[in-house]
Structure 1
């Protein structure tokens, strides 16, 4: 009996080794793509779903994700080759273009199609109206960034001059804005989810309006890369987009609680119900796209918002900084 076991095991050894080597080869065969995200937010739910559900892995990609708080830091990371792909506001590509880059940054996929911030009041307001901001202290975002430009665009839409009708604070670093408001700075603040809902639950503030609903369709957060990277790694970009497209469809087809459970590892300190309600809020206002295509109307609206804020260096033609060929190829297959 023992001799039979020894013989059997000796026969199995080659198969065990073959299986182990095959598994290792498959794992080692994953291509690493370094992605810099401008912030960690439920706003980017499809991205986290693509990672957690293995959609990137299915395409042979391993995502090295790092959070680089703020559009300026994210773009600097991309330009200095600290990342292959950036998830950041499209306005940053326009700023780089204005500086005359030899290797322009190209928007190739749109993740979110509305603003992702909410107006949070320190005090509970039962019947909110925008004119209640007049004379208040407003804790704004970084000058020239999408949250601040959209914020000013919406305020002006409601007849409020952000630089005359209220006290606008813009000297606080992006990563510290929520903490500053929690510490007592400002009567109103713009916050992303899940922070806005967490503040509401803890009684630190109350959500009174959505900047996303007010500003309409805009390429708020897009995936972009240097033109040279897209040219040299077209196959990788296509696989990247395909994984995201699968994730967007998955998010669309599952309820918010199911989605929340999948992305919770990225928000370990956030209650599952808060995550679910945040995802539902973004879903209801159309923040999550379904095709990843950055359309020309959205691009023009972006530049209108930048122009209104006095931050548009020069209007840039849609086809100069937007490449939808790969995305369209993926969704039409």
Structure 2
């Protein structure tokens, strides 16, 4: 169909109006904002930092602000109060809140291994967890997953916490008694573990390898979260996790940026170990097995009454689109 001058102007006007609307819509999408409250600034949460610093949230049109609450309960409270859209901590906190009637779910995986290790002095003979019986062991102050897992391992091997001489210290300071010789065995997180290795200690037990899939830390959101915001967030996190698996050097560089006060070789070793041991997951999925194993620890400790119902507790409506995205 031929266009006369009048029709051409009309068409051009419509096109320009459409373009203006598209630009405005795109700009609004790119400026969509979200806040996440993390329990701590932690090496375990590196997938979140990669998603932010690597621009993966930005690619999904999401501007994410990170806040540090100081504890899992405070991070979760930020979501419940509406001051944050998402929180990052162990899913057991979400399960306890949901058990009490809170309208919260977990929507993505961040840490999928029981990220705890046992380190010893180089002269310690260690063939199994049974070798700690009667020994002085330093571990984090309860409640913490590292000490909880240690207790679980003792129980599974016919022992109890009373079978060891336990020194509980503030999280992150386990290396002090170990290096000072007050204890020759320590239950540790990263990066303290590789700080100890750098001082000559040896790693004798990997809980990630012992327990396999373990929903250690995850993203929590209210069920009333804006679905579009949640979907963008989970897709951005998925892209970051894929990137970490194929770009370990670049991932370590982001970790060094996030933890500038740590020695670079320690950061690099910690990232390498957590990738190799499966602590950083390959995707955002939370499997029934991973959730069950993690919640069993909390049930055994009396923190949780029963397993949460997987189909209602894990919001796969956000996970599945992220897994399907190319």
Q: Shared topology, TM-score over 0.5?
A: yes
Distance 1:278 1:320, change over 3 A: same
What is the CA-CA distance between 1:262 and the residue it aligns to? Answer: 2.8
1:29-65 alpha-carbon deviations (Å, 9 max, x no partner): 5233221222333322222211121111222222221
1:278 and 2:270 matched: yes
**Mapping for residues 130-149 of structure 1, pairs under 5 Å:** 130-149=129-148
Counterpart-to-counterpart distance in 2, 1:252 and 1:220: 18
Structure 1, 117-126 or 298-307: larger mean CA deviation: 117-126
**Mapping for residues 317-332 of structure 1, pairs under 5 Å:** 317-332=309-324
Of 251, 262, 283, the match for 1:291: 283
Structure 1, 172-181 or 288-297: larger mean CA deviation: 172-181
**Mapping for residues 1-333 of structure 1, pairs under 5 Å:** 30-98=31-99, 100-101=100-101, 103-122=102-121, 124-125=123-124, 127-161=126-160, 163-170=161-168, 172-174=169-171, 186-203=183-200, 205-228=201-224, 230=225, 233-254=226-247, 256-333=248-325
1:169-190 alpha-carbon deviations (Å, 9 max, x no partner): 45x4446555676677654333
* Partner SS, residue 48 of structure 1: helix
Counterpart-to-counterpart distance in 2, 1:279 and 1:41: 12
1:211-261 alpha-carbon deviations (Å, 9 max, x no partner): 211122111110011222x2xx1111111111111111111112x333211
**Root-mean-square deviation (Å):** 2.9
Distance 1:70 1:178, change over 3 A: farther
What is the CA-CA distance between 1:26 and the residue it aligns to? Answer: 5.2
CA contact (8 A) 1:52 1:263 kept: no
CA contact (8 A) 1:34 1:85 kept: yes
Counterpart-to-counterpart distance in 1, 2:292 and 2:80: 25
CA contact (8 A) 1:86 1:224 kept: yes
Counterpart-to-counterpart distance in 2, 1:119 and 1:179: 15
What is the CA-CA distance between 1:165 and the residue it aligns to? Answer: 0.5
* Partner SS, residue 238 of structure 1: helix
Question: Runs of 5+ in structure 2 lacking a partner?
Answer: 1-22
Counterpart-to-counterpart distance in 2, 1:35 and 1:152: 31
Distance 1:133 1:127, change over 3 A: closer
* Partner SS, residue 306 of structure 2: coil
Structure 1, 172-181 or 28-37: larger mean CA deviation: 172-181
CA contact (8 A) 1:181 1:189 kept: yes
* Partner SS, residue 107 of structure 1: strand
* Partner SS, residue 213 of structure 2: coil
Distance 1:106 1:246, change over 3 A: same
Counterpart-to-counterpart distance in 2, 1:318 and 1:174: 31
* Partner SS, residue 244 of structure 1: helix
Counterpart-to-counterpart distance in 2, 1:181 and 1:330: 43
Counterpart-to-counterpart distance in 1, 2:48 and 2:175: 23
* Partner SS, residue 168 of structure 1: strand
Question: Runs of 5+ in structure 1 lacking a partner?
Answer: 1-21
Counterpart-to-counterpart distance in 1, 2:69 and 2:185: 25
Distance 1:62 1:248, change over 3 A: same
CA contact (8 A) 2:106 2:314 kept: yes
CA contact (8 A) 2:86 2:221 kept: yes
Structure 1, 116-125 or 81-90: larger mean CA deviation: 116-125
* Partner SS, residue 214 of structure 2: coil
